[in-house]
Amino acid sequence: MGTEKSIEEARRWFQTAESDLKTARILHENQRYAHACFHAQQAGEKAVKSIWYLHAGDPWGHSVQKLIVDLKDFDTEFFSILEDLVPDGSKLDKYYLPTRYPNSLPDLIPDTAYFEDDALTAIGLSEKLIERIRPLVV
């Protein structure tokens, strides 16, 4: 386990992940699907980063998939716990840029390119990551 300071930092990141997931749910309920997808991606990203911070790691980037895969070289135990979620991380990564920027989508804007099933999928993926990580951090 990490130091008291790294454990506290991990918990702060994990709590922020949970807050982002709540925000994603609120946005979904209000039919703001692109934004719900983005906040779900952020929830997953911050949850995985909390694992890095738990051992005073320095996570870099926004790819959930890469953050999980890179654990292999940092902490093999945590990597083995999350390894089967690499495909889920890859799916969440697809909600990082195009949910926010119209130049990421041909002739569309995010609000017209994402639908309820997208938001539900993104939220479900983040919930799965958060539930897997919660006992490690909290």
Q: Please state the φ and ψ torsions of residue 62, each to the nearest 5 degrees.
A: -120, 0
pLDDT on residue 55: 86
Burial bucket for residue 77 (CB in 10 Å: 0-12, 13-18, 19+): exposed
pLDDT on residue 97: 96
pLDDT, tens digit (0-9, with 9 covering 90-100), for 19-56: 999 999 999 999 999 999 999 999 999 999 999 999 88
Residue ranges of domains in the chain, CATH in brackets: 4-137 (1.20.120.330)
| Apex 129 CA angle, 38 and 110, nearest 5 | 15
Decide if pLDDT at 2 tops 80.
no
User: Closest Cα partner for 77 from 127, 136, 125?
Assistant: 136
Band of pLDDT at residue 1, cut at 50, 70 and 90: low
pLDDT, tens digit (0-9, with 9 covering 90-100), for 50-107: 999 998 898 999 999 999 999 999 889 889 999 999 999 999 999 999 999 999 999 9
DSSP string, 11-29: HHHHHHHHHHHHHHHHHHH
